[in-house]
C-alpha cells in the first residue's frame, strides 16, 4: 500500500545547499503515491533548477505569483486549495523569519499566508550559529505556537565545514515525518513502553543463545505508537533495524538486562507492549574464557529460568495496561488465550511463527476476554497501526 496515495502536497524550496536533497525527497513522495506541486523561491533556483524538479514531478514548477499557467492566474490561492499539506524543504533562516512575521512578498510566502487550514510542515536547514541565534529560536517558537510542524533540524556535519545543530533531516526522515503527520493521533499524551527483538544469552565471550526474531513487528509498533502521538520508549535486544523517528531506544543484550530496563521504565508508562522474543533460559554460569573443543566432547550447560517480564509488569500495582505477543506453531487460539490468562494481561496478540518469522507481513489475531478477533493479513507497519488503534479503543480512560 502506498503511504501517500490520494494526497496532493505543495513542496516548497527555499535557498540553501540542502536543496539537492529535495529532489530525492520529491522522488520518494511520488513513489508513495503523492501528487506534488513544486514552488520555489528565487534563492532556491541558485541551488537546483526548476527543470530538474519539473522533470521529476511531471508537473509545472512555480516561482511567480502571477504565473498565468494556473487557472485564474492566482497561484498563491489556487495551489493550496484542496491540498493536504504544504511542506517546505529546505526552510532557510530567512524564510522562517518571513513565515513567523507573515510576510507575503513572493509566491511561496504568500501561499503560506493564504493557505487557510492546510497544514504547514517545515524542515529547517542552516548553519548551527544561524539556528541557535536568538532571532531564529524566537521565530521557531512563534511558528510552533502558530501550529506549524517543525521537522528537525538534526545535528551533524554541515556543508560549511562546521558541525552542530541545524543540519536538515534526511529525505527518508522527512518522508516518514510527513506520513506520520497524517496518522490519527489516537495515543496523544500517552506513554508507551515496548520490548522488541531477541535477547542474547552468553555461553562464553564468543557464543550466545538467542531467538529467531528480527524485531520488525516490535519496531513497527513503536513507530505506529509514535505516529499516533505517544511518547515511546523501546527496549530493544540486538537487531539490525534503525530506530523509528521520535522513539527513545534502550539497547539491552540479555533477558536479565531487558527485565531490569522494563522494571525501571514501566512504572511511568501507560501502555506496555511486550513484543520481544525473550530467551526462556540463561546459561547458569557463562564461561569467562572461550570454551575449547575437548576430544570432540560437547560441553554440558546448565540453565536458569529467566524472569517473565510481561507477567511481572502486569502484576505491578498501578502499572501500565499490558499487551503480550504469542508466537505459536500450532493451536494458536488455545495457547494464546492460556498465555493471556497466565500472564494476567487484557490483550494477547497471537500469530503463527511460520507466518511471521522473517516475513514483511503479519497475520495477527487479537485475544481478549470476549474471544478471538482476527485482523486481516497485511504489511507489519499496517498491522501495527491497526493494532495501535485497537489498543487505543480498549484503553481505560
Ligand atoms: O511465554 P511466552 O514467551 O510464549 O510469552 C510471550 C509473551 O511474553 C511475549 O509478549 C513476550 O515478550 C513476553 N515474555 C516476557 N518475558 C519472558 C518471556 C516472554 O516478557 N521471559
Nearest CA to ligand 1 atom 9: 325
Pocket of ligand 1 (CB under 6 A): 195, 255, 274-276, 278, 306, 308-310, 324-326, 339
Q: At 148, is the pLDDT very low, low, confident or very high (cuts 50, 70, 90)?
A: very high
Helix residue ranges, H only, 163-291: 171-181, 216-227, 255-265
Fold of domain 8-181:
Rossmann fold (3.40.50)
Specify the range with the lowest mean pLDDT, choosing from 16-25, 69-78, 100-109, 176-185.
69-78
Q: Ligand 1 atom 17: the closest Cα is on which residue?
A: 308
Q: What angle do CA 266, 268, 274 make, to 5 degrees?
A: 30
Q: Is the pLDDT score of 221 beyond 90?
A: yes
**Stretch(es) of the chain classified as CATH 3.40.50.10300:** 191-394
Known active-site residue 160: yes
Mean pLDDT of the chain: 95
Band of pLDDT at residue 75, cut at 50, 70 and 90:
confident
- Give the pLDDT of residue 353: 85
pLDDT score for 320: 98
User: What contacts 24+ positions apart, CB below 8 Å, involve 289-297?
Assistant: 289/204, 289/205, 290/204, 290/205, 290/206, 290/207, 291/203, 291/204, 291/207
Instruction: Tell whether the model's pLDDT for residue 69 goes beyond 90.
Output: no
More confident residue, 161 or 94: 94
Report, as an integer, the average pLDDT of 8-27. Answer: 97
Q: How far apart are CA 98 and CA 183, in angstroms?
A: 29
Q: What is the pLDDT of residue 71?
A: 77
Atom index in ligand 1 nearest the CA of residue 306 equals 21
CA 89 to chain CA centroid, nearest Å: 19
* Mean pLDDT in residue range 57-67: 93
pLDDT at 268: 97
pLDDT at 196: 98
Instruction: Give, for ligand 1, the residue of 221, 260, 274, 338 to mutate: max count of ligand atoms closer than 8 Å to Cβ.
Output: 274
CATH superfamily of 191-394: CoaB-like (3.40.50.10300)
pLDDT at 293: 83
pLDDT, one tens digit per residue, over 189-205 is 999 999 999 999 999 99
Average of per-residue pLDDT across 94-117:
97
- The tens digit of pLDDT for each residue in 111-136 reads 999 999 999 999 999 999 999 999 99
Atom 4 in ligand 1: which residue has the minimum CA distance? 326
Domain with CATH 3.40.50.1950 in the chain: 8-181
Residue 397 has pLDDT above 80, yes or no: no
Amino acid at each position: 500500500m502506498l503511504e501517500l496515495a490520494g494526497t496532493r502536497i505543495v513542496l516548497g524550496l527555499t535557498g540553501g545547499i540542502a536543496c539537492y536533497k529535495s529532489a530525492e525527497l520529491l522522488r520518494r513522495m511520488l513513489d508513495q503515491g503523492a501528487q506534488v506541486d513544486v514552488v520555489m523561491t528565487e534563492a532556491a533556483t541558485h541551488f537546483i533548477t526548476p527543470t530538474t524538479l519539473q522533470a521529476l514531478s511531471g508537473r509545472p514548477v512555480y516561482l511567480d505569483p502571477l504565473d498565468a499557467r494556473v487557472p485564474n492566474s492566482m497561484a498563491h490561492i489556487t495551489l493550496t486549495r484542496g491540498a493536504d499539506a504544504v511542506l517546505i524543504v529546505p526552510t532557510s533562516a530567512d524564510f522562517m523569519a518571513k513565515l513567523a512575521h507573515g510576510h507575503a512578498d513572493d509566491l511561496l510566502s504568500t501561499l503560506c499566508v493564504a493557505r487557510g487550514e492546510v497544514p504547514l510542515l517545515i524542515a529547517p536547514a542552516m548553519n548551527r550559529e544561524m539556528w541557535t541565534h536568538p532571532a531564529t529560536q524566537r521565530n521557531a517558537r512563534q511558528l510552533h505556537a502558530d501550529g506549524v510542524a517543525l521537522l528537525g533540524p538534526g545535528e551533524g556535519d554541515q556543508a560549511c565545514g562546521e558541525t552542530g545543530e541545524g543540519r536538515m533531516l534526511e529525505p527518508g526522515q522527512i518522508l516518514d515525518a510527513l506520513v506520520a503527520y497524517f496518522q490519527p493521533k489516537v495515543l496523544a499524551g500517552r506513554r508507551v513502553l515496548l520490548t522488541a527483538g531477541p535477547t542474547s544469552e552468553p555461553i562464553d565471550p564468543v557464543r550466545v543463545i538467542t531467538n529467531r526474531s528480527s524485531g520488525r513487528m516490535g519496531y513497527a509498533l513503536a513507530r505506529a505508537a509514535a505516529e499516533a502521538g505517544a511518547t515511546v520508549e523501546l527496549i530493544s535486544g540486538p537487531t539490525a533495524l534503525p530506530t523509528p523517528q521520535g522513539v527513545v531506544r534502550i539497547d539491552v543484550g540479555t533477558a536479565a538486562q531487558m527485565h531490569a530496563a522494563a522494571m525501571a521504565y514501566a512504572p511511568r508508562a501507560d501502555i506496555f507492549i511486550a513484543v520481544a522474543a525473550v530467551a526462556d533460559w540463561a546459561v547458569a554460569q557463562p564461561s569467562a574464557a572461550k570454551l575449547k573443543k575437548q576430544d570432540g566432547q560437547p560441553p554440558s550447560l546448565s540453565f536458569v529460568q529467566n524472569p517473565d517480564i510481561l507477567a511481572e509488569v502486569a502484576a505491578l500495582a498501578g502499572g501500565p495496561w499490558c499487551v503480550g505477543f504469542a508466537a505459536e506453531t500450532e493451536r494458536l487460539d488455545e495457547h494464546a488465550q492460556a498465555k493471556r490468562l497466565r500472564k494476567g494481561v487484557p490483550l494477547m496478540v497471537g500469530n503463527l511463527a511460520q507466518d511471521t518469522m522473517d516475513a514483511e507481513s503479519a497475520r495477527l489475531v487479537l485475544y481478549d476476554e470476549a474471544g478471538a478477533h482476527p485482523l486481516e493479513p497485511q504489511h507489519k507497519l499496517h498491522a501495527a497501526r491497526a493494532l495501535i488503534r485497537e489498543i487505543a479503543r480498549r484503553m481505560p480512560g
